[in-house]
Amino acid sequence: MKRIGIMTTGGDCSGLNTAIQRIYQGAKLKGWKVFGLLDGTDGLCETPPKVIEFDDGTLPIENARLSGSFLHNGRAEALNFETAIKRGKINQFNKKLRKSLLELNLDALILVGGNGSLSLAWCNKEIYAGLQLICIPKTIDMDIPLTDATIGFDTAVQQLTSFCDQLMLTARSHHRWFVVQSMGRDCGQLALHAGIAIGAKAILIPEIKFDINSLIANIKKADTDYGIILVSEGISLRGHSGRPADMISRKLTALGIANRTAFPEHTQRVGDTTAADRILATRMADCALNAIENQETYVMTAIQNNVCKTISLNEFFNAGEITDDPKISSMKTSDSYVSPDNPLLQIAVDMGIYIGEIK
């Protein structure tokens, strides 16, 4: 009888509970035992490690639609890769993780994480030696290379779209513009998709340079005096500091264009998981369990051309743009961004949406 563990790490999102519940359901049918590792790597650093054994009552199917992670994703100040490096305890941290995993006597570990967590897993692969490591990609940023979809992204797009839909009503009532700042870090996928969905008048993302004067000219010549300007949190405006939405708002105000800023913040990470994300989570859970059965290790589940498959973590890591981890010095992260040939960029142009100075 196999013993498999599930761990969620990094930022939370909708779809995590669906993935957890489906992994348990599929594993139970194979006669395997399933253990949930609480608080990610934080829980592994405790003595004894924080672990629960799943049964049919642990995570009822009706709760699998809820956002967040039943297993938790860790505490900000607990000992983790980030704080261990800051405190000069990375070697002790790695040894503790390794020791805890050996004590749990797992055959396989399914790690559900973002590009930072998956990059860390590959760069510290010796921690997981002796067990099968299967990774499932989740992130609202959609910045993971070699997969066309990540758990949580579709729900985040829906949440941001719904937020902007409501703002559009008050924008119309008061003849004003709303500058809405989305999450996404240095990747503009979330803002781009939601911006197309709501019919924004402008979408500003980190991957596309924009000219503030061109933006303002497009707003002035718009056929309405209200609407949404959707701004990704990763954009910058030369000579200005502060939150991107505030920077754009100040420019509009200086020219007499009525506007307000709005920050949906963590509402983008919550909300009942959409059907698309539930289906994706189920497909990736099934793929991960099949990978364990096929004796695969150090792999990531991925959607490519609507086929769910596994790819090696080495392939994932080297396929992206490898950059310094924003929070962990000396660590590297593999990042994916909005491609210049993304069809949504041309669609935005065709629909009269200012998307920046694209060629």
Task: For 100-152, write each residue's pLDDT tens digit.
Answer: 999 999 999 999 999 999 999 999 999 999 999 999 999 999 999 999 999 99
Residue limits of CATH 3.40.50.450 in the chain: 3-152+273-319
- Residue 261: CB partners within 8 Å, gap ≥ 6? 178, 179, 180, 181, 243, 245, 246, 249
Q: What angle do CA 150, 70, 76 make, to 5 degrees?
A: 80
Which structure tokens are listed for 252? 């509009």
Q: Which band of pLDDT confidence, cut at 50, 70 and 90, is reported for residue 238?
A: confident
- Residue 341: CB partners within 8 Å, gap ≥ 6? none
Q: Which band of pLDDT confidence, cut at 50, 70 and 90, is reported for residue 28?
A: very high
Q: What angle do CA 265, 268, 62 make, to 5 degrees?
A: 135
- Residue 193: CB partners within 8 Å, gap ≥ 6? 157, 344
Tell me the three state secondary structure of residue 228.
Answer: strand
- Annotated catalytic residue: which of 12, 39, 141, 277? 141
| Residue range 156-269+340-350, CATH number | 3.40.50.460
Distance separating alpha carbons of residues 303 and 145, to the nearest angstrom: 11
Q: Which band of pLDDT confidence, cut at 50, 70 and 90, is reported for residue 79?
A: confident
Residue limits of CATH 3.40.50.460 in the chain: 156-269+340-350
Average pLDDT of the residues in 280-293: 98
Domain 3-152+273-319 sits in CATH 3.30.750.24: no
46, pLDDT greater than 80: yes
* Annotation marks residue 223 as catalytic: no
Sheet holding 259-262, edge to edge: 202-204, 227-232, 177-182, 259-262
